[in-house]
Amino acid sequence: MPESLDTPENSNYCFAMLTQKISRPGTSKVKTLLRTFLLLTAIWLSVAPLGGCSKKNDTPLFEESNRKSGEADPPVKDVPVDILSTQRAFSNVSKKVTPSVVNISTVSRKKVIQPFFEANPFFEDFFGGPQTRQNKSLGSGFLISKDGYIVTNDHVVRDAESIQVKLSNDKVYDAKVVGGDQKTDIAVIKINAADLPTAVLGDSDKLEVGQWAIAIGNPFGLDRTMTVGVISATGRSNMGIETYENFIQTDASINPGNSGGPLLNVYGEVVGINTAIVAAGQGIGFAIPVNMAKPVFAQLMAKGSVSRGYMGVTIQPITEELAKSFGLKQAKGALINDIITGGPADKAGVKQGDVITGLNGIEVKDPSHLQRLVAEAGIGKIVKMSIFRDGKALELSVTLASAENAPRQRQKVDRGGNHQEGEADLLGLIVENSDQDDGVVVIDALRGGAAAESGIKRGDVIVSINRSRIANTTEYARMLQQAGRTGSLTVLVRRGDASIYFALRIK
């Protein structure tokens, strides 16, 4: 038989063979022709798609790359070596680190608010007490010890009635909370297991903007998802997320469920703990630096709670106006607006109106930065504080105490006195004497006045002008007259438990 029926010769051969088989003795010529026609039609219909009677066509249905033992060349033959190396680096990070990443699921109960019936005194009689509903949530974490200690975010496990941890081998364990710290949003949980793979902690202080950032976690319940981006920024603070903030910003995709998972460098080292996202933005995620987290979860593992250093001052930001008023070249540092009597700062000679510009050789950017540096310094540690006072730079040593032993802030004092008669002063204020011989009370702040525009309001107590104490309305008027010659002044106001500096310009 020929190899193919694609030629006329082959077609004649097939036809002759079929005709010979169909033509039998005693069969009429018409019947023979009819049988032949029907048979050939059936054969054609069955073999036409294959292109032949005896052998398949060798033409493939699709092209396959010879990188998979196919015959076709890949569309791009020469891939740059650095791209291949980067690809292998990401794959290696995933293989090495993923086993130490865990998925966390929690169950908690939250009170159901009934706005129309909550205030009804008979509501609980009918429905049997406060109504609650079960709330489930997902998060991530990573193992830091072979015996089952796991670091995650405090908000992932806070108020949880039950916690389950799923490992990369799909084993599920019940977990308990060892300790949590809301101020940094860090928690440690524990499972009963042994010989577990652990993550390696890196050095977040060495991070630079533009370096690769790799996030592994459990977004939307999708197990151990890996995303890649870069370090977008470091030292992000004043975000209003936590008390102590020093976030790493990254564009590596972080979604709900990533919270508590690791942020990694290309060496597979943990440099951050994924914590928050900007809901209205794309590619804006935040992670807690691992160097900031280490002392926190170390204390949580040791005693289940966190103790921080305490200086005994209240502080506020330096605005451009305050910087000019105090003679500072830049609007940096933390302005001390009040001192706790008997506290570490008071004992060290720190004064109200001092500007803290540095701590242990580190330049202080703003109050939140100082707050974090003091908290991380440790209880009982002696810190070197750089002070700017009356145009001069000073160095003071302060021994930090424990914030847990800090005295309570003074209570609010009801103040009386006779109202000052007449029109508002140069600042747009009407004040009266205090019954404590300590400042004057603002009884009215006219809209559009210099004081009202700067933020001073009714009920505030003005205790000093240009860093000179005032005891009554007479001293207040004299200081205001002197300050009026320069056109600007600095006013210290006590508002409830807080003291605040304001920089005003007289119109």
- Counting every residue written for the chain, the total comes to 507
Q: Give 253-280 pLDDT, tens digit per residue.
A: 888 888 999 999 999 999 999 998 876 7
Q: Active-site positions?
A: 155, 185, 259
Residue in 68, 45, 71 with CA at minimum distance from that of residue 58:
71
Q: ∠ CA 445-451-454 to the nearest 5 degrees?
A: 125
Query: CATH homologous superfamily of domain 309-405?
Result: PDZ domain (2.30.42.10)
The pair of three-digit structure tokens given for residue 315, joined into one six-digit string: 């502080």
Query: In which band, very low, low, confident or very high, does the pLDDT at 409 lie, cut at 50, 70 and 90?
Result: very low
Query: In which band, very low, low, confident or very high, does the pLDDT at 197 lie, cut at 50, 70 and 90?
Result: very high
Same fold, 83-111+133-303 and 429-505: no
SS3 state at 479:
helix
| DSSP-assigned beta bridge partners for residue 96 | none
pLDDT at 56 exceeding the cut of 70: no
Architecture of domain 83-111+133-303: Beta Barrel (2.40)
Maximum mean pLDDT: which of 68-82, 288-302, 394-408: 288-302
Give Cβ neighbours of residue 92 (< 8 Å, ≥ 6 apart): 268
The torsion of the CA quartet 428, 432, 433, 434, rounded to 10 degrees, works out to -100
The tokens 């038989």 sit on which residue? 1
Residue burial 141-179, b: 16+ Cβ < 10 Å; e: rest: bbbbeeebbbbbbbbbbeebeebbbbbbeeeebebebbb
pLDDT at 408 exceeding the cut of 60: no
Could you give the CA distance from residue 133 to residue 108 in angstroms, rounded to a whole number?
8
Could you give the CA distance from residue 465 to residue 502 in angstroms, rounded to a whole number?
10
pTM of the predicted model, to two decimals? 0.66
Where exactly are the structural domains of the chain? 8-50, 83-111+133-303, 309-405, 429-505
Could you give the CA distance from residue 315 to residue 433 in angstroms, rounded to a whole number?
26
Q: Give 286-335 pLDDT, tens digit per residue.
A: 999 999 999 999 999 999 988 888 888 888 888 888 888 888 888 899 99
The pair of three-digit structure tokens given for residue 268, joined into one six-digit string: 């597979």
* Per-residue pLDDT at 60: 66
| Mean pLDDT across 415-429 | 55
* Per-residue pLDDT at 1: 44
Domain covering 429-505 assigned CATH 1.10.10.60 in the classification: no
Give Cβ neighbours of residue 74 (< 8 Å, ≥ 6 apart): 65, 66, 67
pLDDT at 187 exceeding the cut of 90: yes
Give Cβ neighbours of residue 115 (< 8 Å, ≥ 6 apart): none
Question: What is the β-pairing status of strands 488-495 and 461-465?
Answer: antiparallel
